[in-house]
Every structure is written in C-alpha cells, then in structure tokens.
Structure 1
Amino acid sequence: MSSYTQYITAGVVTAGVIGGAYCAYRLYERASRVNIPENWTQVGTLKDLYVYPIKSCGAVRVDKAECSLLGLRDGWLRDRFLMVVDDKNNFITARSYPELLLVEPSVRSSVLTLNQANMEPISVNLAEVVSLQKPKTATVWGVTVPVYDCGWAVSEWFSRLIDRSTTNYRLVYYASQSSRNLRINSINPIFKFGKEDTGAFPDEVSYNLINQASVDDLNTRLKETQVTPRSFRPNFVLSGAKAYDEDNWKFVKIGENVFEIIKPCVRCILTTIDPETGIRNPKTEPLETLKSYRQLEDPAARRTAGNSPRMGLQMALRSGPGGLISLNDPIFVA
C-alpha cells in the first residue's frame, strides 16, 4: 500500500478527499466527451520523463509515473504541486530568482527533501503538512489558489537562499484536488483551453512535451551555446520524430494515455538561464535565435503571444486518469 493510500485510509481530511474524487470524476466526464482519434501513427519513444515538485525548482527524473488530471504523480511526488511565495503570498519563479533552479528536490514516501550546493539539506513531511495545516490562500498568475503552508523551517531555508533573510519567502503546497481557475482574459479563443486543464501551479496546462529532434536542430543554429531539453522544463522528451513535426499534431498518445494538444508552448526568458548553473545567457540565447524562426503564424495567436517563439507542446489528459507512463513507451500522434 502506498503512503498516499495509507494516508487516505487513515481518514485524514476525508471531506477534502471526497470532494477531490467528485471533481476528478467531473473532469474525466468532460474529457471523455472529446472525440478521441481511432487511427494513430507511431513517431518515436519516450526518452525522458520529468516531474517538477516545486514550481521553478529542479526536476526529478523518473522511470514511470501515473497520469492524473492535475499532472504526473508517483505517490506524494506530484508535478508542480508546490511553489515559493513572497511575503505578500504572490508566487515567484526562476525568471527573477534563478537560484531556484539549483534546488534539487526528492520525495520518499511523503517526505520532501531539498538539496542545494551552498545550503544544508532540509526535509518536510507533506502528509503532516496536509493533515495539520488549514488551507490559506496564495496568488499565481493573478488567480487566488488554496494552499497549505509548509512550515517555518523550510520557509526560512528558502528565505536564506534567496535574499539571506529569514521570513521573506514561504513554501506552500496545493490544497485542492481540482485544477486552479484561469484568468478569463488570458484564454485565447483559438485554443481549446478548458478551465479544467490548468493543473495546480504550472503556467498553463498540466503536461508539456518537447521533441529532442527540434532541440537538436536549434543547436545547429546556435553559435556560442548549446541547450538540452531541460532548458524547456518538459514532462516528456520524445525521441525518434523529425524536427518540428509536432507543429502539425492534434493528439499525442504515450503508451495508452491520450493527450489533446491545447496549444504550442511559447517561450520566455526562463529558457535563457542555464538549468545546471543558474547563470543567464548574456545574449539571451536560445530565445533570440528561436524568435528568428519559430514565431506563431496565426495572427490571432500572435496577439496573445507577441513575439514569444514556440517550442514544444502544451497538452491536457483526455484518457482516464490513473494510467501509467514509462520510459521507452511508444509515442503515437494523430
């Protein structure tokens, strides 16, 4: 029995679990109405599988994970279910605080452990946080979300890391089993962007895929630097497809898990920060090169994205939740 199942069996926050199960059912009910394709073409295999427990912090590479309506999960390891907030409870990211990228999280049972080269390790028991804390509120992309505060010790750790203070930043955990709301004015009507596709704390939707061949092609165009798929913080890295073939896909199937492509992933300044060192590229690469040849072509889409270039896919789960994805799974498209 997993730690999550034990935790549920113990009856902790039972009402919240029941509510979450109902929300999951409603989300699955909506997804099941999508016209899933019957004919698929294999384009490659799953090369890498990443979970990002804390928004803007380091990745955890896993061999397999479960697909939930809120993103990848493996017990208490969940994708972007935690984030760091400032003293006004507004989320912060590595765009402004690149040192976050060098925080290496790991999750064992329900215990989250953080490592960083210049800091002592610290751990927090997420099961205790959920069972003992009452939900508060924080803000992510202008939307108020329910969160559990992860306690003073880990918050003091992040505060010392970021600005050598003790109380300016806090670590919070998502306190819901349904996707956060979307800002209505952020939804471009040309994309099939459902209000239930947002997940917990990802920027837009719960799943992101990058094509290794597209990254390889980008590297042939870069003159003074090279990048890896990790520069784009994907959940899925596809191997075997042709460069930029993903521009023409509508659905992706990994193993037996079906995803609808909601929109291209438009890229920001975060891609110019080396995920291994936290150092910004002085010439804002690879973003500048991407801008030269990867602009959105649809005028309506450009009105929202501006000159932000595309690289990768934003996707939402359309098969039933609970399916497993493993490294080397075949990847099909339609």
Structure 2
Amino acid sequence: MLDTNQLYFHRWWPLVGGIAAATVSVAVGTWWWYRAPPAGKAVESKTFDIKETTLKAPSEWVPVAKVSSIFIYPVKSTHAVSVQEAICTPHGLKSGSIRDRVFMVIDENHKFVSGKVLPKLVLVSSKLEGDTLYLSAPGQESLIVNLKEVEQENNIITCRMRADDIDGLDLGNKVSEWLTAFACPSEVGIESLHIVYHYRNQSTRKWEESEAFPLLKASDNSFYADMTAGMLLSEGSVEDLNSRLKSNLSGISVGKGVTPLHFRPNILVSECEPYAEDQWKWMRIGEVIMRQTGPCSR
C-alpha cells in the first residue's frame, strides 16, 4: 500500500507502479530515490540504451522527501478525494471502493469532456461506498447511482478520449440530466453530458513506444487517466511557482495563487527542494516501487 510515512520517489511526472496491490500512505515516512548517472554523460555513450539502463529497478535508495497527501479522482475532471492510504495497482490508486478515474464525463457525441472545457466540473464531488456512487454539486440535490443496476443494464458506449477509443457503461439519463443542468455545457456548444463507468478490472489501452516517452512501455496503462497510473508533485515546486507568479506579475492580483490540486496529483510530497522530483527516475514508498515515464503536461 501507499503509506505517506515511508516515501522513496520522483516528482510531478506520470508514474507507473512496479508492484501491484501494494499500499501507500500519507505523510508518514521518508521517500527515497535512485540517483541515476548524469543524463548528458550517459547519452554520450554510443552503447547507451535508456530503456535497458533505466527499466530495471535499482537496489540502493536515498531518502529524499515525505508523502504529505494522497488524492484519488473517482470521476475524471471532478473534485479530488483525499485519503490516508491507498493500494497502488498497475491502473491507478485504490482506497476501499474508491478507484482512480474509473468514471469519465463525455458529451452527446461520446467524446471526453475535461475540466478545461467546463471548469464547473471540478466542483462536482463523488463518493463510493460498495456498489453505490454518490454525486453532489453546489446548488444541486445529491444523486445516488446503483452501479449494480448500471452493470445489469449493460449500456456500453465506445468513447473517444484523446486518441483512444475506450468502452464504458453509461450511468443513465438521470445522471446525464443532473450533470447537464449543473455544468451548463450549452455555453461551449455541448448539448448534453453523460458519465461512463470503466466496469472492467483491467485496462485494454495500449501505449505505442516512442522516442518522446522512452520509459513508457506498452503495458503501462490506466483506466481513464490521460497517461499512466499516477502523478507525483512536490509542495516545494508549487510554492516556488507561486513566488514566481507574484514577482513576475507585479501589480496584478493573482488571488490565492496556484494550489497543488491545480496539477491534480495523486501523491503530494514535502521536505524536498523545488523541482527535485524532476530528477527522480525511480521512486519507492515502503515496498512500492515506481518508475518515472514522463513529465506532467499541466
């Protein structure tokens, strides 16, 4: 499990868990990283193969930070759920009945709709208890969805998310009407909103290996997350960003600035230098080993 007591990791990059069903917890421990050879020096070698060099987990670790928070986003693009511990699976974090990004918002054409398109989506909160999904939003009556009934109705929709076609079970008209009334999609030319459910325990998505993400393997997949199973961010990086915003936007109000949740991390760490996580190729929290696959596009 992920336990924020013991942390041995990397920064705000998409991550891949190396051990299925291990637990991670919040702010309880030290996190460690493996110090890889300097990138420039290694690349100069004609025989250097980044995948052969970095896809094997190291045996020696250095403590670098502590886990301060763990977040799961049951419904992609909506409000985060803060948890004290989570199981790290190949497809994302899990805590009790809550799994990361197993629900996704789509439009009437079955295309994924993000919080960037409809910012009000981030105000939608969700809670999972067994086979029941609870949805709430400001000014709206809470909605209860029986997932067993959704599975029995078996209304499978093939959705378009970025460049992928992914199946999901439609949660039904009641959910569609509720979310459409709240998020006002007509303001951006969308007729209606729907939520689909990734009912399978395995992801069918496959990544194509590319030079852009040399550490990404075909088997590194998630449910409805943009890329891989998780993303890690340090508090120091966010604090440094806010200080830069204030100094570079002198005379312009930046309000409360940027919060870690603007970057939607799964794991937030503290007690490290800003952007230190950019250098972590391998991370470990307790017995959970994770591999960096690439930077967060946010």
The alignment's TM-score, normalised by the length of structure 1, stands at: 0.66
> Which stretch shows the higher mean deviation, 129-138 or 232-241?
129-138
1:173 aligns with 2:204: no
Paired amino acid for 2:245 = L
- Shift of residue 177, structure 1, vs aligned partner: 2.8
1:42 aligns with 2:42: no
Residues 189 and 41 of structure 1, relative CA distance in 2, 3 Å threshold: same
| Structure 2 counterpart of 1:83, from 104, 108, 115 | 104
Unpaired runs of 5+ residues, structure 1, are 1-26, 268-334
The answer to whether the Cα contact below 8 Å between 1:180 and 1:196 also exists between their aligned partners in 2 is no
Unpaired runs of 5+ residues, structure 2, are 1-19, 22-53, 247-252
The alignment's TM-score, normalised by the length of structure 2, stands at: 0.73
Match in the other structure for 1:248: 279
Q: Deviations over 1:77-115 (max 9, x none)?
A: 110110111111111001110010100111122211111
- Shift of residue 261, structure 1, vs aligned partner: 0.2
Corresponding residue SS for 2:134:
strand
1:221 aligns with 2:229: no
Paired amino acid for 2:260 = P
Instruction: Map 1:178-189 to 2 at 5 A.
Output: 178-182=202-206, 184=208, 187-189=210-212
Match in the other structure for 1:102: 123
- RMSD over aligned CA atoms reads 2.3
> Which stretch shows the higher mean deviation, 158-167 or 170-179?
158-167
Paired amino acid for 2:276 = D
Instruction: Map 1:1-334 to 2 at 5 A.
Output: 34-163=55-184, 168-182=192-206, 184=208, 187-223=210-246, 224-225=253-254, 226-267=257-298
Q: Percent identity?
A: 32
Aligned equivalents of 2:178, 2:75: Cα separation in 1 = 14
- Shift of residue 167, structure 1, vs aligned partner: 7.2
Corresponding residue SS for 1:265:
coil
Paired amino acid for 1:210 = L
The answer to whether the Cα contact below 8 Å between 1:148 and 1:175 also exists between their aligned partners in 2 is yes
Aligned equivalents of 1:218, 1:189: Cα separation in 2 = 25
- Shift of residue 258, structure 1, vs aligned partner: 0.6
- Shift of residue 181, structure 1, vs aligned partner: 2.5
Corresponding residue SS for 1:95:
coil
Aligned equivalents of 1:261, 1:216: Cα separation in 2 = 22
- Shift of residue 137, structure 1, vs aligned partner: 1.3
Aligned equivalents of 1:131, 1:254: Cα separation in 2 = 39
- Shift of residue 43, structure 1, vs aligned partner: 1.0
Paired amino acid for 1:249 = W
The answer to whether the Cα contact below 8 Å between 2:136 and 2:143 also exists between their aligned partners in 1 is yes
Aligned equivalents of 1:197, 1:187: Cα separation in 2 = 13
Give the paired residue count. 236
